[in-house]
Amino acid sequence: MKKKVKHRLSVILSTILASTLILSGCGNSGSESGASKSDKEVTTIKYYNWDNEAQQAGTDAMLQEFMDQNPEIKVEHVVLVPGDSVEMLKKLDFLISSGEAIDVIQFPSLGGVLERAERGALAPLNELYEKESLVPEDEYFVNPKLNDNYYGMQYTKSTNYVMLNKDALDEAGLEVPKFGWTWDDYREYAKKLTKGDGVDKRYGSYFHTWELYMNAPAQTMMRDPFVYEDGTTILADPTYKYFFQLRKDMEEQDKSAKPYSDVLAAKLNYRTEFFNEEAAMILTGNFTIADPGNTEQYPHDFKTAFAPVPVPPAGWEPKEYEGKYFTSGNMLAMGANSANKEASFKLMRFMTTADSNNRLEFSGYKKANNEELLTKLVAGKEDKYDMDSLKYTLFSDEIQYLDAAKVMIASTAELSKIINDGFAKFMLSNESIDEVQKWMVDEATKIINEKSVIK
């Protein structure tokens, strides 16, 4: 009897054990299958840029927002060269030439996108836009376009304006300028804002060493600062003669602008020139919006006012003048060999359109709430700003922007050097403006004929 009971118990235990092993095996099999299925559902893409340490925190936070909203997509943030967009592009080109699959890239300029689109390194976005029923011109201020194909989305919006010492304006009895004031008006303002002598002198204006300050009308009110829409050099434009002479007259006749030779020799910082009250006005860009409130880095007591960039006076308008301002900014593009184009497009749209608390720069998206971002940037420091003039300069309907250039030169470094050399020839020697401009046009034409023009 005991043997039968033991035998039955043995059979039952064996049966239970076998069943457990089968169920366990099924469970493991199901788990493996589920993990495999989950892995297949998650798409991993890479986002390339040149963030410095401070910028990276904001980008990572935005990317995390995107992944929280899109759990089926994982984004890896690849900082190619921290804080250096020029070296970043060199490294990017090496990766592209080596065949690495590139998903989403942040570019520092429109030209950077078009140069690589022309080489076939970027993917056209037309079909993806059409699938989402989107018209790029309705979405962004500037759209990189080549042969009717769209190759990028505007990530940030960069514009220029004039910062003015509001206390100095009030002292001189001058109003904050509005859209339509001219460079002749700017010259008169500079005369009236100049004060004192020697080491205590405050100049009415400061011009830095960049091309922006060598021909401001060409740099701020034309689609491309190097070539016209017909592909010929812009260095023949009448604004070069006008602005070169304006600069010289302000230095030598009016004594209202610090001499170019002194600016070069001393390697001055344009921000400290303004905030140290060495100059009452400076042409700059919206990347300086936070500076008046940053009194720790730039100690000062005065309030800063803002004005649109002056326009050329009658008779000196650029050849292709429309009365609108150039705007650009960082662009996002997609690699031609990306294996995850839909996921990449979704990320590009999020980064360019999201109303995120982690955004630190104005968006190139036309429907973005940039006024809300402005409020955040100046919060607690409003007493250092003439807020009415700042909002007017940034958001007034009177101020319109140009669309993207249809024609660009593929390489700009050599043309930039010609502008710099030509300006130095005129400012530091007795050569006439006509002789200098002829030399610039001849040299630029040689380069344009050798280089490919993007159309």
Which residue from 301, 281, 274 is spatially nearest to 191, judged by alpha carbons? 281
Residues 8, 13, 14, 20, Cα dihedral to 10°: 150
User: How high is the pLDDT of residue 136?
Assistant: 96
Give the Cα separation of 302 and 300 in Å (integer).
6
pLDDT surpassing 80 at residue 35: no
Answer yes or no: is pLDDT of 33 > 80: no
Q: What is the mean pLDDT of residues 315-334?
A: 95
Is the pTM above the cut of 0.85?
Answer: no
pLDDT range class, residue 9, cuts 50, 70, 90: very low
With respect to CATH, is domain 42-157+328-368 assigned 3.40.190.10?
A: yes
Residue 365, burial from CB neighbour count under 10 angstroms (0-12, 13-18, 19+) = buried
Which residue type, as a one-letter code, is found at position 159? T
Residue 30 confidence class, pLDDT cut points 50, 70, 90:
very low
Give the mean pLDDT of 356-361: 88
Kindly calculate the radius of gyration of the chain based on its CA atoms and give it in whole angstroms. 29
pLDDT computed for residue 92 by the predictor: 97
Here the tokens at position 241 are 């003669």
DSSP 218-247: HHHSSS-SSB-TTSSBGGGSHHHHHHHHHH
Confidence of residue 19 (pLDDT cuts 50, 70, 90): very low
Q: Which helix (H) or strand (E) holds 447?
A: helix 433-450
* Tokens at 421, concatenated: 């050399």
Name the E strands within 54-187.
Answer: 73-79, 104-107, 145-146, 149-150, 153-154, 160-165
How many percent of the chain have pLDDT more than 70?
90
Tell me the C-alpha distance between 444 and 420, whole Å.
12
Q: What residues pair up with 76 in beta bridges, in sequence order? A: 46
| pLDDT for 410 | 64
Q: What does the alpha-carbon distance between residue 353 and residue 132 come to, in Å, rounded to a whole number?
A: 14
Task: State residue 296 phi and psi, 5-degree precision.
Answer: -70, -45
Mean of pLDDT values over 28-41: 45
Would the pLDDT of 137 be above 90? yes
Torsion sign, CA atoms 100, 101, 107, 113: positive
Q: Is residue 32's pLDDT more than 80?
A: no
Q: Are the CB atoms for 66 and 350 separated by under 8 Å?
A: yes
Closest CA to 153 of 211, 212, 110: 110
End-to-end Cα spacing for the chain: 99
- Cα angle 293, 221, 162 (rounded to 5 degrees) comes to 25
Least confident window among 19-33, 167-181, 354-368? 19-33
Domain residue extents for the chain: 42-157+328-368, 160-326+387-454
Would you state the pLDDT for residue 5? 40
In 43-180, DSSP assigns E strands to: 43-49, 73-79, 104-107, 145-146, 149-150, 153-154, 160-165
User: Please, which pLDDT band fits residue 327 given cuts at 50, 70 and 90?
Assistant: very high
**Per-residue pLDDT, 364:** 94
Beta strands in 118-204 (DSSP E): 145-146, 149-150, 153-154, 160-165
Give pLDDT, residue 213.
96
pLDDT at residue 36 tops 50:
no
Share of the chain above pLDDT 90, in %: 78
> Is it true that 42-157+328-368 and 160-326+387-454 share their CATH fold?
yes
The model's pLDDT over 204-251, given as tens digits with 9 standing for 90+, comes to: 999 999 999 999 999 999 999 999 999 999 999 999 999 999 999 999
Whether pLDDT at 39 is above 90: no
356 pLDDT higher than 60: yes
Q: Region 129-135: what's the mean pLDDT?
A: 98
CATH homologous superfamily of 160-326+387-454 equals Periplasmic binding protein-like II (3.40.190.10)
At 455, the pLDDT band (50, 70, 90 cuts) reads low
Per-residue pLDDT reduced to its tens digit, 364-408: 999 999 999 999 999 999 999 999 999 999 999 999 999 888 787
Measured distance CA(212)–CA(214) in Å, rounded: 6
Q: What is the pLDDT of residues 138-183, one digit of tens each?
A: 999 999 988 899 999 999 999 999 999 999 999 999 999 999 999 9
Confidence band for 411, pLDDT divided at 50, 70 and 90: low
| pLDDT recorded at residue 6 | 42
Given a contact cutoff of 8 angstroms between Cβ atoms, the answer to whether 357 and 57 are in contact is: no
Mean pLDDT of the 300-321 span = 96
Q: What is the mean pLDDT of the chain?
A: 90
Minimum mean pLDDT range among 15-29, 103-117, 329-343: 15-29
